Amino acid sequence: MTQRPPDPAAAKRQLAARARELGFGRIGVAPIDIPEDEQHLLRWLDAGMHGEMDYMRRHGTRRSRPQELSPGTVRVISVRMDYWPVAARDAGEVLGDAQSGYISRYALGRDYHKVMRNALARLAEELADAIGPFGYRVCVDSAPVLEKAHARNAGLGWIGKHTNLIAREAGSWFFLGEILTDLPLPVDEPASAHCGTCTACITACPTAAIVAPYQLDARRCIAYLTIEHHSAIPVEFREAIGNRIYGCDDCQLVCPWNKFAHAASHPDFKVRHGLDSGRLTELFSWTQSQFEERMRGSAIYRIGYEKWLRNIAVALGNAPTSEPVIRALEQRRESASELVREHIEWALGRHKTSVVDLQSASQKDPGQNAASTSV
Ligand code: B12
Ligand code: SF4
Ligand code: SF4
């Protein structure tokens, strides 16, 4: 039988103190009910906005009812961990350099799932050592849980119009994790919302994926298209993807609350393998074993080599026309899978158009473009 703590408030204080030492920026406790969020989730699924993320539909309301996922759950302990890689090459600079690949800030270091899971498991185990055994389940995007809704109710922040959780004192560059528990800990006040009349994220989104405030059509989102979408990237979005080869941060980069963001303190979130400034032609030349060796331990490993090449082929199609870009694409053409080859053909087609444009322009005015035509 589960032994109850003599003083839930004391158990919560102990959790909060230890959470800070383990690298969490903040911790809060929420009750389990989120009926409004469940309605939003069901509407979103009915509209098909989850795209190819079949697991979202499969889990259905299990995602909004933690007690069904882990019987006996009465509280959700939510935590956040900051990941902003302060030493990385400036995001705006990389986005403005079409020869480099932009990798989302959250994926420049090691995979956060393992880092956070280990720290959360330790937090729960230590509490059990102190107060006796209790029922719990640790989650970091590893189980069907509406993480942002619980975090908001635990006082960690509000869901912004771009649909990420934002904290007044920490912006939005953080991951979320939870401990679902049967401990009746005292709950926190939900956080209030502070987007006000701002719409910067909606305007900045390159693919108009934020179809209304608080509503994201994942099928249009570059994070989805480059990470979760397994088949061909729809042609209508390829140009707008620009040089984003894994994930997208634009809606968070423009958010005014991110001036309060904290730098990552965990050493695992430091940039690895120069991923903050990789040249597209160089990244595209990696062999499968180089990809696997370099990306092991990174969230990028999960998309696999084929999607990695698919994404870079799109970015190469958006890069300025040059001999090295065309050569990189042509060199892969024959050996590529059907999926990747189709993206390579699309990319080469774009460069052919620009070569023709440049040639016809220079025929009209031979002096013009002389310096920029390198093909
Ligand atoms: C599926 C998923 C995605 C999908 C869909 C995103 C989404 N908004 O749902 C895709 C692949 C696009 C994605 C992208 C990203 N993701 Co993601 N993702 C998830 C995942 C696994 C589930 C999210 C979910 O449940 N969606 C369901 C829909 C219905 O929820 P929602 O769109 O957020 O809608 C909520 C509200 O907006 C509101 N709502 C919905 N409709 C309406 C309508 C009205 C009128 C109103 C008022 C409210 C409202 O209710 C909903 C429920 O609370 C979570 C982990 C988890 N288990 O929670 C991580 C998670 C949300 N992702 C995360 C991250 C970091 C990202 C990226 C930043 C990664 C990147 N840089 O590329 C981007 C951000 C894109 C964006 N603008 O959201 C973090 C977010 C951390 C934070 N600070 O919030 C999470 C929590 C993972 C983690 N453990 O840290 N992600
Ligand atoms: S992650 Fe990029 S594509 Fe997705 S909503 Fe934000 S800005 Fe738009
Ligand atoms: S950019 Fe503006 S509207 Fe969008 S989430 Fe941030 S504060 Fe809210």
Catalytic residue annotation? 141
The pLDDT assigned to 4 comes to: 52
First to last CA, the chain: 75
The pLDDT assigned to 156 comes to: 98
The pLDDT assigned to 7 comes to: 84
**Would you list the DSSP string of 247-293?**
---HHHHT-GGGGGPPBP-SGGGS--TTTTS-BHHHHHT--HHHHHH
Tokens representing residue 77 in the block:
């302990």
Q: To test the ligand 1 pocket, which listed residue (34, 40, 65) has its Cβ within 8 A of the most ligand atoms? A: 40
Q: What is the mean pLDDT of the chain?
A: 93
Interior/surface letters 320-336, b for 16+ CB within 10 angstroms, e for the rest? ebbebbbebbeebeeeb
Query: Which ligand is closest in space to the CA of residue 261?
Result: 1
**Binning pLDDT at 50, 70 and 90, where does residue 360 land?**
low
pLDDT in tens, 142-181: 889 999 999 999 999 999 999 999 999 999 999 999 999 9
What residues does 159 pair with on adjacent strands?
165
Alpha-carbon distance of 66 to 60, in angstroms, equals 12
* Ligand 3 centroid to residue 193 C-alpha, Å: 10
Alpha-carbon distance of 356 to 320, in angstroms, equals 14
Residues with CB under 6 Å of ligand 3 are 160-162, 166, 195, 198-201, 254-257
Give percent above pLDDT 90 in the chain: 89
* Ligand 1 centroid to residue 106 C-alpha, Å: 14
**Would you list the DSSP string of 154-211?**
TTS-EE-TTSSEEBTTTBT-EEEEEEEES--PPPPPPPPP--TT--HHHHH-TT--EE
Tokens representing residue 307 in the block:
């999607």
pLDDT in tens, 95-106: 999 999 999 999
269 lines ligand 1 (CB under 6 A): no
**Nearest C-alpha to atom 47 of ligand 1 is from which residue?**
214
Angle at 258 between CA 252 and CA 259, to 5 degrees: 145
Q: To test the ligand 2 pocket, which listed residue (50, 161, 162, 252) has its Cβ within 8 A of the most ligand atoms? A: 162
Alpha-carbon distance of 337 to 313, in angstroms, equals 12
What residues does 79 pair with on adjacent strands?
27, 177
Cβ-based neighbours of 203, under 8 Å, separated by 6 or more: 254
Q: Positive or negative CA dihedral for 144, 148, 152, 155?
A: positive
CA 259 to the chain's CA centroid: 19
Residue indicated by tokens 């065309």: 326
- The residue among 144, 169, 141, 146 whose CA lies nearest residue 157 is 169
**Nearest C-alpha to atom 1 of ligand 3 is from which residue?**
255
The pLDDT assigned to 114 comes to: 87
Strand pairing of 174-181 and 136-139? antiparallel
The pLDDT assigned to 369 comes to: 38
φ, ψ for residue 161, nearest 5 deg:
-65, -25
The pLDDT assigned to 60 comes to: 86
Alpha-carbon distance of 273 to 47, in angstroms, equals 40
* Ligand 2 centroid to residue 188 C-alpha, Å: 30
* Ligand 2 centroid to residue 352 C-alpha, Å: 29
Give the orientation angle of helix 304-318 with respect to helix 338-364, to 10 degrees: 10
**Binning pLDDT at 50, 70 and 90, where does residue 358 land?**
low
Does the pLDDT value for residue 55 go beyond 80?
yes
